[in-house]
Amino acid sequence: MSRILLVRHGQASWGAEDYDQLSTMGESQARTLGAALAAQDITPDALFSGAMKRHQQTAVGACEGAGWELGVETDEGWNEFDHLQVLSRHPAPEGVDLTTDRRAFQRWFSDATLRWTGGKHDDYDESFADFCERVSAAFERTRVALGSGGTAVVFTSGGPVSWAAAAALGSPGNGAADLWLRLNQVTINAGVTSFVVGSRGATLLAFNEHTHLSPAHQTYR
């Protein structure tokens, strides 16, 4: 059996002009993660990353923390969904500063993603169904590239991590979307979700494991 570890990126630059950059906290989270994985004697046979800067910066930090010298292969299938477009399709709350009021932003984000996953609107460049298919295909490419008996670490985002977990749990129909929504709300920066993959497919072992992070280093946005 092989093992696939999906890592959500470290904290990005929330509220900054360019969100797709690790914050100082995110850089620390990435190095801490790498050191923790190395302490568990995890030696990956393959490393993969989405194409976003926060994915690749997390990969660099984790490799530094772990002392891994293995090259990282980029696979755009592990990219996050276009959250800016999803937000743009749902009216923003009025009378609040969304760059500072995180609760208001989270309510807006939750309502906007609910609209996207509902499947009743076709004004998105990538539908939720297409997103799920893309992530599932990336997971399969990772499995095939890894082969039998190896370990892969993938640096990605909360959306793909949550879909891979929901798909492995096998929720039927709209239940998969509902489960994805619940899981995506709680993915933590630099958290690890692990699978074993064998002849029966992928089995979820752990979701969102983050004991390597102190309470002061646990962030969601």
Please give the model's pTM, rounded to 2 decimal places. 0.92
Task: For residue 47, list its beta bridge partners.
Answer: 72, 153
Question: Per the domain annotation, does 117 fall within a domain?
Answer: no
Q: How confident is the model at residue 148 (pLDDT cuts 50, 70, 90)?
A: confident
Question: Per the domain annotation, does 60 fall within a domain?
Answer: yes
Question: Per the domain annotation, does 74 fall within a domain?
Answer: yes
Distance CA 87, CA 19 (A): 14
Q: Percent of the chain having pLDDT more than 90?
A: 78
Q: Return mean pLDDT, the chain.
A: 92
Question: Per the domain annotation, does 173 fall within a domain?
Answer: yes
Domain CATH number, residue 21: 3.40.50.1240
3-class secondary structure per residue, 10-34 = CCECCCCCCCCCECHHHHHHHHHHH
**pLDDT at site 60:** 98
**Residue bearing tokens 């095939």:** 144
Q: Percent of the chain having pLDDT more than 70?
A: 94
- The beta-carbon contacts of 140-144 under 8 Å, at least 24 apart in sequence, are 141/75, 141/77, 142/4, 142/46, 142/48, 142/75, 143/2, 143/4, 143/197, 143/202
Distance CA 210, CA 60 (A): 19
Q: Look up residue 34 and give its two tokens.
A: 């790498």
DSSP state of 149: S
Domain that holds residue 59: 2-81+126-217
**Count: domains in the chain:** 1
Question: Per the domain annotation, does 37 fall within a domain?
Answer: yes
**pLDDT at site 166:** 95
